[in-house]
Structure 1
Amino acid sequence: MLRLTAALTTGMLALGALAAPLQAFEIEAMTPDERTIFRSEIRDYLLENPDVLMEAIAVLEQQRVAQGAVAEKAMLEQNRQAIFEDGFSFVGGNPDGDVTVVEFLDYKCGYCKRAFPAVEDLVNTDGNIRFVVKEFPILGDQSTLAARYAIATKITQGDDAYKKAHDSLMTHSGNVSEPFLARLSKTLELDHDAIVAEMDSDEVTRVIDTNRALGQALQIQGTPTFIMGETFVRGYVELDQMMAIIDSIRAEKG
């Protein structure tokens, strides 16, 4: 930025016709000819020193990231209860863990499925992570059907049954249909009739609508989206990246 300032100064000094001192320089006060000279000086300088543009772009990107972090912090504070303690989302891992990881996911999302083994490894090997699942169906009817099945399973048959259904849906690569869900219930030895009776209930609809509203409030537009501690991670990340983020969170806590 210092170099860009120097370029601007060079351009201004080149305008010998300016009567006002440099400190009182105003672009609006330039004549058309003076503006042409000024712009030419700046253009020539930037062409000769393209690294100045790169420096300026880097500064702007840093500012954008900083502003985004401030906005995300504010969104998190405004929705803290709904994110971490909504009373209906599945909580796995260590319920008393020192770091909470929340995942917004869609059972038809390829990147969610790709992230699933990494998330499992992270939670199981760390041993001190509280893991919260937010069903966030955004990819069509099959996504919604799968989410309703998972939520209904949790409501009617508890967390253990939900975890089995969740894992199966995350590793399933084909279509999600009513016949498939019936077969899945049989394989997992779940009460399918009870699940089906609950799938279209007001409570299941409320959970999905609440998650979607929360996602909108947090400006979540895709899956997977993670909230690790108080850090938003929008999109797929590798296991080593997840571990590095968790380590950073713990280091900040001291």
Structure 2
Amino acid sequence: MKKLIIISIVIICFVSKSESSTLEKLYLESRLINNFANELYDKPDDFIIGNREGSITIVEFFDYNCGYCKRALADLNAVIAKNPNIRVVLKDYPILNENSYELAQLSIAAGLQGKYFEYHTELLNKPGRVTYQMAIDIAAEIGLDIEKLEQDFKSKEVNDMIANNKVLGYSLAVSGTPSYFIRDVNIRGAVGLETLQEVIDYASENQLIDDYIIKEAESGNEEAYKVMFRYGLY
């Protein structure tokens, strides 16, 4: 299992297994993630689905115009259904175009009316690009107050949330969507339910990168031993 996990992570991180610094890069990325852990996992104004008190948290950065994000919605819903201990934090991260930014504004404004995830789901389930007017029509269909929605979506509160998400994403080198964080691992792309579940299973029992490196070093992996010794993982 652990071999499969780390190979998946390495592939997702776009690092060749033949590079001598693979484990070091993974370790240093994990340190970066840990430096931003509070902003990533515990911001009080984040939108959360699943088990709010869950022991494992998944953070997803997404863009409503991202076709891969649309496809990945079913995977995330399946993860929540299968794992009662999962807490999911959704971070609007509009990076594709100006329309993406408008949709992020509207979704957060919908959240101020208590319908964030319902609206989020409808937007992602809509095939292709969702225009502003299409998004307004969807909002009306699910019973949102349109006047309040259009007022709130321009508000400082809404735009500050998006700005904070983008600053955090840039700090963590999130350059595409979807991008997931589970403990100290960044999983880039719509990797599918199986890979997400493997990382969740491993996170439930281990400390992920640190733990993996130590175990690999103990089993005779020379590169892992060098990383363990260099950074004092013992």
Q: TM-score, normalised by structure 1?
A: 0.72
Tell me the residue number matched to 1:176: 130
Tell me the residue number matched to 1:213: 167
Post-superposition CA distance 1:19-39 (Å, at most 9, x none): xxxxxxxxxxxxxxxxxxxxx
Tell me the residue number matched to 1:123: 80
Tell me the residue number matched to 2:7: none
**2:28 pairs with 53, 71, 75, which one?**
71
Equivalent position amino acid for 1:106 in 2: D
Within a 5 Å distance, the mapping from 1:64-213 to structure 2 comes to: 64-155=21-112, 157-158=113-114, 161-213=115-167
SS at match of 2:28: helix
- Distance in 1 between residues matched to 2:21 and 2:169, nearest whole Å: 21
- Off by >4 Å, runs of 4+ in structure 1: none
**2:193 pairs with 232, 236, 239, which one?**
239
Q: Is the 8 A contact 1:145 1:177 kept in 2?
A: no
SS at match of 1:108: coil
- Distance in 1 between residues matched to 2:127 and 2:118, nearest whole Å: 16
Judged with a 3 Å threshold, the aligned counterparts in structure 2 of structure 1 residues 131 and 59 are, in CA distance, closer, same or farther, namely closer
Tell me the residue number matched to 1:20: none
- Distance in 2 between residues matched to 1:165 and 1:81, nearest whole Å: 26
Post-superposition CA distance 1:188-230 (Å, at most 9, x none): 0111111100111111111111111101110110000000122
Q: Is the 8 A contact 1:229 1:249 kept in 2?
A: yes
Q: Is the 8 A contact 2:103 2:132 kept in 1?
A: no
Percent identity (aligned): 30
CA deviation after TM superposition for structure 1 residue 86, in Å:
1.3
SS at match of 1:222: coil
Q: Is the 8 A contact 2:33 2:185 kept in 1?
A: no
Relative contact order (C-alpha < 8 Å, sep 6+): which is higher?
2
Could you tell me which runs of 5 or more consecutive residues in structure 1 were left unpaired when the two chains were aligned: 1-57
CA deviation after TM superposition for structure 1 residue 251, in Å:
2.2
Judged with a 3 Å threshold, the aligned counterparts in structure 2 of structure 1 residues 249 and 171 are, in CA distance, closer, same or farther, namely same
SS at match of 1:169: helix
SS at match of 2:21: helix
Q: Is the 8 A contact 1:165 1:188 kept in 2?
A: yes
CA deviation after TM superposition for structure 1 residue 137, in Å:
0.3
Q: Is the 8 A contact 1:76 1:230 kept in 2?
A: yes
- Distance in 2 between residues matched to 1:121 and 1:59, nearest whole Å: 30
- Distance in 1 between residues matched to 2:26 and 2:101, nearest whole Å: 31
- Distance in 1 between residues matched to 2:129 and 2:195, nearest whole Å: 31
| 2:177 corresponds to 1:223 | yes
- Distance in 2 between residues matched to 1:197 and 1:59, nearest whole Å: 50
